[in-house]
Amino acid sequence: MESIIKLNNVTFSAQDKKIIQEISVEFKTGIATAIVGPSGGGKSTMLKVSAGLLLPSYGEVLYKGKNVALMSRAENLDFRRESAFVFQDSALWANQDLNQILELPLKIHFPKMTETERIKRIKEVTDEVGYRKELDIRPSRLSMGEQKLIGFARSLLCDPLLLYLDEWTESLDETQANRLIKIVHNKVKNGATVIFICHDMRIMSELADHVVIISNGNIVMNAAKEQIANDTELSNYLRMGMAL
């Protein structure tokens, strides 16, 4: 199975502090990987570096074998169309309504798509995630859970091959969370790669094929879920990592 994302000796520093350091890890095509570990340990930074949202201070991030930092404009546009990121705080533009927020990725990546086609696609993804309110309102009118649903819907618009999810079920009730979990499960079943940050053992158990624990900016465990299940020491270590 080929790697879709590969980090080679990646370090990311901010304000002269190393947030992650000398990380090397591969994410295989069609596999769901859970990233777990203590708060402040570097999980979100590692996810954003993997997604090309932050460029490493040292080392390289490869997408399908190409260095993300050295991609041409066309290659980078392909990478952005084929991947999507769900932010912990949803990251919805405050000065645009939901229609504008959801239309933008379609306008960028599918410029020949008609307005009618865009409206149809937006309805498909908002229905899929269970968002029921109007779309001609700004994010400030939404609850945090509703903002999460819109952020998740936005990630589905271009039918990405690669999904990055940062605490993507926070602020959702059990029914809403289960709906999104099912969507992610189906994406993986159909060949997508998912890399997600999680503090919930149930979600990790349901979705993850592979688990990475990161602490103090370093990977301290990297193993397939089956390997963990068959090894008492690894299982205990995982539970410790999830509890931190």
Q: What is the mean pLDDT of residues 207-235?
A: 86
Establish how many alpha carbons lie within 13 A of residue 30's alpha carbon, considering only the half-sphere containing its beta carbon: 5
**What predicted TM-score, i.e. pTM, was given to this entire model?**
0.93
Q: What is the mean pLDDT of residues 133-145?
A: 95
Closest CA to 1 of 27, 26, 28: 28
Is residue 19 within a helix (H) or strand (E), and if so which, with residue range?
strand 17-28
Please give the pLDDT value at position 26. 96
Domain chopping of the chain, boundaries: 3-243
Closest CA to 1 of 41, 22, 32: 32
Residue 156: how many CB atoms within 10 A of its CB? Answer: 20
CA distance 213 to 164: 16
Please give the pLDDT value at position 38. 85
CB within 8 Å of 138: residues ≥ 6 apart: 94, 95, 96, 97, 98
* Cross-strand partners of 195: 33, 164
CA distance 4 to 29: 5
Q: What is the pLDDT of residues 29-86, one digit of tens each?
A: 999 999 998 888 899 999 999 999 999 999 999 999 999 999 999 999 999 999 999 9
Please give the pLDDT value at position 171. 84
Q: What is the pLDDT of residues 101-110, one digit of tens each?
A: 999 999 999 9
Which residue type is seen at 213?
Answer: I
Does the pLDDT at position 244 exceed 60? no
Homologous superfamily assigned to 3-243: P-loop containing nucleotide triphosphate hydrolases (3.40.50.300)
Closest CA to 215 of 194, 238, 234, 196: 238
For residues 231 and 151, which has the higher predicted lDDT (pLDDT)? 151
Q: How confident is the model at residue 100 (pLDDT cuts 50, 70, 90)?
A: very high
Helices 98-109 & 73-82, crossing angle to 10 degrees? 130
Q: How confident is the model at residue 28 (pLDDT cuts 50, 70, 90)?
A: very high
